[in-house]
Structure 1
Amino acid sequence: MAQVLEMRIGDGTIIDPNAEVSVPYRPGCAPTIIGDDGIVRSFAVIYGDVIIGSHFRCGHHVLIREHTTIGDHVTVGTGTTIDGHVEIGSYVKLESQVYIPTHTSIGNYVFVGPGAVFTNDRYPLRLRHEYEPTGPIIEDSVTIGARAVVLPGVRVGYGSMVAAGAVVTKDVPPWSLVIGVPGRVMPLPERLRHENRARSWLLEG
């Protein structure tokens, strides 16, 4: 069993057996902080230097690395990896088996479908002298479909939708739809031009 730091857990938050929270990654790192009324399910691993808000929901076998900040009312699905140095807003749903690399920013009211992959290195293991990890920027009320791929440094604008399986290779203007490989960007149909809102968010917010 790895040595763990003293975690700071809010009222009503449940840590299931076999979950590891506040795992140290270096001497002197800060503990994990989780707000009220959360659930961390078994076999999740959360490192130190992670700050999570209230009403957090975490599936099994989730990994959240250091220097990650997560807002309120966030769900992280089973098998999802958040590789650290990541900012996630409030009212966000990351479905199962999503991969979020370092230096990624995700806004509020965002949905990311199962198996979606974000990337932060345009030329993996090439041009190392120029390497600087740059993850995607996902603005508020964006929906990312299942198995979509978002390339490094791409900004997906407010209210946009990325179709399942699409590969996003360039910046996406607000209220756009991205489909296909490589992703073709077009205006979002009028009937889909409204912010993301889950019924549970309306009840909890």
Structure 2
Amino acid sequence: MSTYIDDQAIIGENVVIGHNCIIEKNVKIGSNVTIGHNVIIYEGSTIEENCQIHDNVVIGKKPMRAKRSILKEQKDFKPAIIGRGSTIGTNAIIYTEAVLGSEVFVADLATIREKVTIGTQTIIGRGVAIENECRIGARCKIETNAYITAFSSIGNDVFVAPCVVTSNDNYMGRTEKRFKEFRGCIIEDGGRVGANATLLPGLKVEKEGVVGAGSVATKQVESEWIVVGTPARKLRKVDAEQLLKS
């Protein structure tokens, strides 16, 4: 097994690179980085110092576009950036134009699409899918198999439990109207969403709002309120001791 490193790649000190890796032109790898086996790092990508990149990771992948896709074709992409001290788990895929802050943890099998930003010390769980053009804040936990739909925004200190589903298509339509109605979900600072909950398109969870496990949230969740059920309705206020300020 052989490893290919382009002559124009910049490799820092104390970098360990496994077998059968491909590191393309103008890739920048900081010092004290460990790269596992079978890793592909596409042209221009940056991995800052003290990162761990596990086996079979792909960084800087360009998106594919189906013939019937509503997304406009794009030819020029900015490089992916992995912030210092971050960990990328086995078989994770980080697309081009994704920007990860420092000390981000991405677990095995996660997918982070193009034009996604992730704040410092955020944890992205196993099998999580974050679609294109999402913003994820700092110190969040997005847990196993959660799905964050395209065009969503998540603030700081947000908790998203396993198997949460967000959505952005109001119509499931067959006409051109649907193209103008895509709206991602918004979860503001300190928001929490329980396991297997579903958020409908464009829904906002205001600061410190909580959506109970298994609920279907169809209306805006007010700040510091807990909502439960299908459709979700107000249950009670969040206990004061559970607020971030406490």
Confirm or deny a common fold (TM above 0.5).
yes
In the alignment of these two chains, the number of paired residues is 197
Q: Is the partner of 2:99 in helix, strand or coil?
A: strand
Q: Is the partner of 1:187 in helix, strand or coil?
A: strand
Q: Contact (CA 8 Å) 1:175, 1:193: kept in 2 or not?
A: no
* Change in 2 beyond 3 A, CA 1:192/1:122: farther
Q: Contact (CA 8 Å) 1:159, 1:193: kept in 2 or not?
A: no
Q: Does 2:150 align with 1:112?
A: no
After the TM superposition, which residues 182-197 of structure 1 pair with which residues of structure 2 at under 5 Å, given as runs? 182-191=231-240, 193-195=242-244
Q: Which has the larger radius of gyration?
A: 2
Aligned match of 2:191: 142
Distance in structure 2 (CA, Å) of the matches to 1:37 and 1:196: 28
Distance in structure 1 (CA, Å) of the matches to 2:91 and 2:173: 31
Match of 1:173 among 213, 219, 222: 222
Aligned match of 1:121: 169
AA paired with 1:71?
G
Q: Contact (CA 8 Å) 1:5, 1:23: kept in 2 or not?
A: no
TM-score of the two chains, using structure 1 as the length reference = 0.90
Match of 1:97 among 145, 148, 151: 145
Q: Does 2:105 align with 1:57?
A: yes
Q: Does 2:120 align with 1:72?
A: yes
User: Which has the bigger relative contact order, CA under 8 A and spacing at least 6?
Assistant: 1
Distance in structure 1 (CA, Å) of the matches to 2:242 and 2:124: 25
Tell me the alpha carbon deviations over residues 47-79 of structure 1, each in whole angstroms, 9 at most, x when there is no partner. Answer: 101111001101111111101111101110011
Aligned match of 1:17: 55
After the TM superposition, which residues 29-48 of structure 1 pair with which residues of structure 2 at under 5 Å, given as runs? 29-48=77-96
Aligned match of 1:133: 182
Q: Is the partner of 1:158 in helix, strand or coil?
A: coil
Percent identity among equivalent residues?
32
Q: Is the partner of 1:178 in helix, strand or coil?
A: strand
Q: Which runs of 5+ in 1 are unaligned?
A: 198-205
Tell me the alpha carbon deviations over residues 30-59 of structure 1, each in whole angstroms, 9 at most, x when there is no partner. Answer: 111011111001100111011110011011
CA deviation after TM superposition for structure 1 residue 5, in Å: 2.1
* Change in 2 beyond 3 A, CA 1:20/1:143: same
Q: Contact (CA 8 Å) 2:172, 2:178: kept in 1 or not?
A: no
* Change in 2 beyond 3 A, CA 1:150/1:81: same
TM-score of the two chains, using structure 2 as the length reference = 0.75
Q: Contact (CA 8 Å) 1:5, 1:24: kept in 2 or not?
A: no
Q: Contact (CA 8 Å) 2:88, 2:105: kept in 1 or not?
A: yes
CA deviation after TM superposition for structure 1 residue 122, in Å: 1.5
* Change in 2 beyond 3 A, CA 1:127/1:72: same
Aligned match of 2:43: 5
CA deviation after TM superposition for structure 1 residue 127, in Å: 4.4
AA paired with 1:84?
N
Q: Contact (CA 8 Å) 2:103, 2:121: kept in 1 or not?
A: yes
